[in-house]
Amino acid sequence: MRGSTPAPGTEFVRYGGHTSCLALAHDGAAAPTLVLDAGVGLRAVSRVLDGAPFAGTIALTHLHWDHTLELPFFAAGDRADANVTVLMPEQDGGEDATSLLGHVMSPPYFPIEPTDLRGNWTFATIEPGEHEIEGFTVLAREIPHKGGRTFGYRVSDGRSTLTYMPDHCPTTLGAGEHGFGECHPAALELARESDLLVHDAQLFPEELAAEADFGHSVADYPVELGRLARARAVALFHHRFDRTDDALDALARRLGAGAGGADGDDDGDGPRVWVAAEGAVLDL
């Protein structure tokens, strides 16, 4: 749920302090097979698997620390009987996926390299476009975010659709109608009539001028994007690491959103909105 770095402590208990990770499973499946990002939240996937190895794909939106650094601590993946594919956006320099991860996961910064993980691990880059991954149709589109190529994902099982944009800086393309950034074509395509839009909400409006250069969205932006794209629901995600539970409660009140669960208000003129909390389980 958090962005940039985890948020431990008593002020962050109700919404949680782990960094970005979503696990997706097909209806009737015993376990998730597609994981979006590998932040600290990835450790919860091992608990869900309850002692079983992970067999599936982890699709990274980008390579910043808060979305990758739980990979070597993924207990269900770092074992002899695991089968893990890690996908990431191809970078402008064309470097291979293993080398890209190795920049932060190798000595002297870390004791092991990606290829030292136990089990059958495959690392690969992908380009924008439509991909078939673990029985899901995944549309990848490049979205603006500072510090390396970043994708948003639209994931569908043929019946339901989830859109995932945890790091997104729409002001890069202009202020937009309300000053919070452009609802640009890539974002609209990813979010169009989605059942759930999970989106970066790291900033409050009064913080935008000072912090926009870090590459994130104001919480109001995904509400407007969801309305324009006719999404059914919006989950405000990737909360700032020092945003306390009380501050997120206040955000929920200001936006007429549900606090911690998918029970926000639906006034008939836009999507249901809620402030996402760690551990939430949704059936789309």
Note the pTM of the prediction, 2 decimals: 0.95
The pLDDT profile of the chain, 284 residues, written as one tens digit per residue, is: 899 999 999 999 999 999 999 999 999 998 999 999 999 999 999 999 999 999 999 999 999 999 999 999 999 999 999 999 999 999 988 899 999 999 989 999 999 999 999 999 999 999 999 999 999 999 999 999 999 999 999 999 999 999 999 999 999 999 999 999 999 999 999 999 999 999 999 999 999 988 877 899 999 999 999 999 999 999 999 999 999 999 999 999 999 887 765 555 455 578 999 999 999 999 98
**Structural domain contains residue 44:** yes
CA–CA gap between residue 34 and residue 66 (Å, rounded): 18
Q: What is the pLDDT of residue 262?
A: 56
Contacts of 124 (CB under 8 A, 6+ apart): 85, 86, 87, 88, 97
Domain-embedded: residue 239: yes
When divided into structural domains, the chain yields a total of 1
Whether the Cβ atoms of residue 69 and residue 60 lie closer than 8 Å to each other: no
Among 91, 77, 80, which residue's Cα sits nearest to residue 35?
77
Q: How far apart are the C-alpha atoms of 120 and 83, rounded to whole Å?
A: 5
Distance CA 176, CA 182 (A): 4
240 is a domain residue: yes
Residue 280 within any structural domain of the chain: no
CATH number assigned to the domain comprising residue 24: 3.60.15.10
Containing structural domain, residue 211: 2-275
The per-residue pLDDT for 1 is 82
- 274 bridge partner residues: 235, 258
- Closest Cα partner for 19 from 49, 42, 46? 42
**What distance in Å separates the CA atoms of residue 244 and residue 170, rounded to the nearest whole number?**
25
